[in-house]
Amino acid sequence: MQTGKLKINLFGEALTIKSFILSENLLIRFHEIATKMKQPVGEVLSDPYFYHLLKNETIKSADDLESETVNGLLNTPKNQIEIWHKNKKVQKLKIDDLKDELLLFPLYNTSVKIQKPKYEAGFYLEQKEIGLIASYEIVSGFFNIDNLEFQLLNLKDSMLLEKITYEGQELLSKKKDTLITFQNSYEVL
């Protein structure tokens, strides 16, 4: 059996929502810095200058904070999923192709999870990016599109492509090249 590389690229717009998990000591330090900046902690978490004032070698940005994260490719007109095998484009599709309810038989293996936003007390960061959202690569012999499973997440009136698995194995992103188009941090009391 001849092996080849299976590559899946996700292009378009991505949404990320992070719920930060902060220790009591770190929260006290954050309040001190936010007071110097004359802003609430919830708003300064997305400000790069805040992390400069923090002067903590292990925390250089919001990405270094421990968090629970929900992210994925948004179902917008810009989304595109490219599947390559042995350097040949096998399939090009959109999220709408994955969730077509009008078909008698589904064309692709998809699972849809519905998640209502659970905004508990804490600090959050919402971010949108555009570009190459993720590039997955694995070595595979014979490629069968039926072995791919696309996991969709229905969140806040948005449909996200959250995960992709191949033969039951979750694919991990090897590359990302995006531009942040929106970022907002806030506190829920």
What are the boundaries of each domain within the chain? Answer: 4-21+66-188
Whether residue 117 has pLDDT greater than 70? no
And the tokens for 110?
A: 């998809």
User: Residue 37: left (phi > 0), alpha (psi -120 to 50), or beta?
Assistant: alpha
And the tokens for 70?
A: 């929900």
Q: What are phi and psi of 142, to 5 degrees?
A: -75, 130
CA 78 – CA 130 distance, rounded (Å): 9
Q: What is the pLDDT of residue 104?
A: 58
What does DSSP assign to residue 76?
S
Q: What is the pLDDT of residue 180?
A: 95
**pLDDT category, 111, cuts 50, 70, 90?**
confident
C-alpha closest to that of 122 among 49, 185, 58, 51: 185
- Report pTM: 0.87
